[in-house]
Amino acid sequence: MMLVSSNIFRCHRLIQNPVRLLLRSWHKEPLPVSWKKPEIGWTKLNFDGSCKGRGGKGSIGGIIRNHKAEFLLGYAESIGRTTSTIAELSALRRGLELVLENGWTDIWLEGDARTLIDVIVHRRQVKCAELQRYVSHINLIIPELNSCFLTHIYREGNRAADMFAQIGHQLEKPRIWWHVPPNEVVRIVEEDAEGKMILRRR
């Protein structure tokens, strides 16, 4: 009850002082964001889904790197009409399938869809049956790994996976890259390896 009362008070104050709110937002410090390498012996999967246009044309993409930030594998695919949430889940599921196929067992999973990550981490039920099917499948794959954790990263730190998802829109059939990334992703992979910081406006 105390928390609710406090929130109401803050809202009332902001409504009375819209200029103060604008100035506070304007002067917020940008947040530095960067991609982080996994620990030695670990492999990192960054994944992303994309959905464009009124028809909801979807695609997925992801990238797998080792503790030296070396490119191991990338994937991209057009998945037809869908929603952004299904695209994100599909990108994670496909990435996990490739992880298993290649024998990587200690995995750091990272994406920029915070709500989706919260659903997976806390094993929450979702109302949509199609969404729940994806979530259930992902939750069946994860226990097959030796060690695994899932984290959220802002889009500025997920640029490589996002680029693979954008490439997916242009493909007629699924594609996988081993050891050498496509030209569109090379610069991003190099900048990630160097620890480049990108400022995110808040």
For the chain, what are the domain ranges?
42-200
pLDDT tens per residue across all 202 residues of the chain: 333 333 333 333 333 455 454 444 445 788 999 999 999 999 999 999 999 977 689 999 999 999 999 999 999 999 999 999 999 999 999 999 999 999 999 999 999 999 999 899 888 888 889 999 999 999 999 999 999 999 999 999 999 999 999 999 999 999 999 999 999 999 999 999 999 999 998 7
**Residue 3: predicted pLDDT:** 32
Q: 42-200 architecture in CATH?
A: 2-Layer Sandwich (3.30)
Token pair listed for 102 = 């290649």
DSSP string, 122-179: TT---S-HHHHHHHHHHHHHGGGSSEEEEEE--GGG-HHHHHHHHHHTT-SS-EEEES
